[in-house]
Structure 1
């Protein structure tokens, strides 16, 4: 089983930062998706893709993955940059 560990990004549609400090362990897809012949929906028999585990720290997620033999890749969190600009800068 392969998984990825990442920190949840801030929602672009809202100004709040709820749940951005927790780390997520998410399983990767192990089999290809296929179209259902009757309805045309895509799906697969892999139910691990639906599982998302949250942890307070990156180290806790790594320990869990190591304990259960899950090969996990850690995706680094991009640095947060704040662009301060005044309304008057639009008219320079």
Structure 2
């Protein structure tokens, strides 16, 4: 496969469903788009292809580092930025019983 056809995807992966905090969630990943279609192996029934780059995932601390790696290796790349999420306003348990509260009960 020639280098000029390889398209890399640079993105920040979302947190897993088991992760509630923000630790270890700021990294960036460079992965490659598949260069050829998968085909079914007649003997085993598994799908596969000869494209080994689609198995490669490189992790970087910053977006700029991932872009610098792609530029240094002559890769075309697309950067995908996730939409911002609303900040959660911390509340105390005592807010539920505050005098003059106008909101409805949530439970």
Q: SS of the counterpart of 1:89?
A: coil
Structure 2 residues without counterparts, runs of 5 or longer: 1-5, 97-104
Aligned mates of 2:35, 2:83 — CA distance in 1:
27
The runs of 5 or more residues in structure 1 that have no matched partner are: none
Q: Which runs of 4+ in 1 moved over 6 A?
A: none
Aligned pair partner of 2:7 in 2, 16, 21: 2
RMSD: 2.1
Output the TM-score relative to the length of structure 1.
0.85
Q: Is the 8 A contact 1:11 1:17 kept in 2?
A: no
1:19, 1:77 → 2: CA distance? 16
Match of 1:68 among 69, 73, 80: 73
State the structure with more CA Rg. Answer: 2
- How many residue pairs get aligned? The number is 90
